[in-house]
Chain A
């Protein structure tokens, strides 16, 4: 697969709608059919302090294999990001932020 067609996303930088670097994509949550449902993004923090992970619905992400600098973009406002609940334990029900509303619902 050519780099313009498909890109590796684990560990990839995530940018917001304006192109600012906001975090990294660190995990993908798939359902029983292998369809990705949500991605876990690691935000913020400096020198290991203040990092947060949140789970966002797959549809909130846009992937741009051709664009070197903005391979993964997240369509959320800074306020939505701020209020998103933290994704903590992959073995518990995860609160996923969906595009339609800012209140989380569990899958």
Chain B
């Protein structure tokens, strides 16, 4: 019976690449375009702020339930499809009914769907590739996601300017369709089924997971990473807009595109390296690049250092994007809560990011940009040291697999 799933089909891998590409396209459409779109529809700043905050809050509190949900669903592609359908509805609501209730509903739908999508894709990747090849598969996910992100940003930015912002949301809804098609072309993967599917009330496994010190340590590291990382670009971007005038848009576009290119180039290498040289060295690379970027932004104000800083952040992003789901897989071997683990780490990420922008905004107002960047860099250093001293290597010991034994 298991023989059927022994050889991953090359078509399935390509289909998963496309899923990542299209999902990234879709998520790009929901980012900053919502604020602009609502502004053109005469929403006041307070109302817009509320809608955006509602979306963020929904995502925050959905992390854990979404993880549990994806764990309990046997066919992860069903969960991902449900999320995509919710996103189609959200995008259409935004495009066609920009009034208060439809928009708030759309924000909540999108927030929840995003929290389902991330672990579902990770679980599908694990099913397809198996634990030993997961690093490389996740690297491919990250590569196609960043390509999708970059292309979508360019296309939507251009069409949003020339046509209406409404068009961006219609396009977003439309892009969900190829995502769904690609999703169902993947077929069932056979690896790691028990790790990613739990009976809903598996309390013992849950306790085992939550008691794992490594999860706590990594969660703290993730939070510190985003506490340092999240505010750096907005802070620097505001400074650039102030100084550069007409070129500001171009510079900021470069700031967004450069890290995407680096993530696209580096991610598969990161995935392979995680298998060959272990996770910890890569964690040190990713977490270490972050304070360097902060230092660069603090010490050298100006547009070119900013773009260079973004290149450095691409390295961190590549490491982070691949290693978060990979470590979730490492930490949940033997339990059946892979998706919940991703939800927990996602929550740590959101909390760190939220605190980052709030805190650094206050500090920049009170003490100036330099101090704010130095502080963010300092937090980055704390994160780096935590990884260095407290985080163990989590790569599972290689198991000798003879050709007749399935994983």
Q: What residues of chain A have their CB less than 8 Å away from a CB belonging to chain B? A: 8, 10-11, 24, 26-27, 40, 42-52, 78, 81-83, 86, 88
Contact = CB atoms under 8 A, between A and B. Distances in A.
Interface stretch (B201-209, B211-219, B239-247, B373-381): B239-247
A27 B234 contact: no
A83 B249 CA distance: 17
B237 interface: yes
B362 to A, nearest CB: 11
Nearest to B153: A47
Contact of A49 (B44, B242, B256): B256
Contact of A44 (B41, B233, B241, B253): B241
B237 A45 contact: yes
B248 A44 contact: yes
Contacts of A45: 237, 241, 248-249, 252
A97 B118 CA distance: 45
Interface stretch (B3-11, B31-39, B263-271, B278-286): B31-39
Contacts of A52: 238, 241-242
B45 interface: yes
Minimum-distance CB pairs A-B, first 10? A48-B32, A50-B237, A49-B237, A50-B241, A44-B241, A46-B252, A46-B249, A50-B252, A11-B39, A11-B42
Contacts of B258: none
A107 to B, nearest CB: 18
A49 B238 CA distance: 7
Contacts of A11: 39-43
Contacts of A43: 241
Given A50-B237, A86-B238, 11 more contacts: A11-B40, A11-B41, A24-B39, A26-B39, A40-B45, A44-B249, A46-B249, A46-B252, A47-B32, A47-B256, A51-B238
Contacts of A86: 238
Contacts of B246: 78
Contacts of B242: 52, 82-83
A95 to B, nearest CB: 12
B39 A42 contact: yes
A16 to B, nearest CB: 10
10 contacts: A10-B42, A11-B42, A27-B44, A45-B237, A46-B252, A48-B32, A49-B256, A50-B234, A50-B237, A50-B240
A46 to B, nearest CB: 4
A11 B233 CA distance: 26
A49 to B, nearest CB: 4
A85 to B, nearest CB: 10
Interface string B13-47: 00000000000000000011001000111111100
Contacts of B234: 49-50
Contacts of B187: none
Nearest to A24: B39
A51 to B, nearest CB: 7
Contacts of A44: 241, 248-249
B255 interface: yes
Nearest to A47: B32
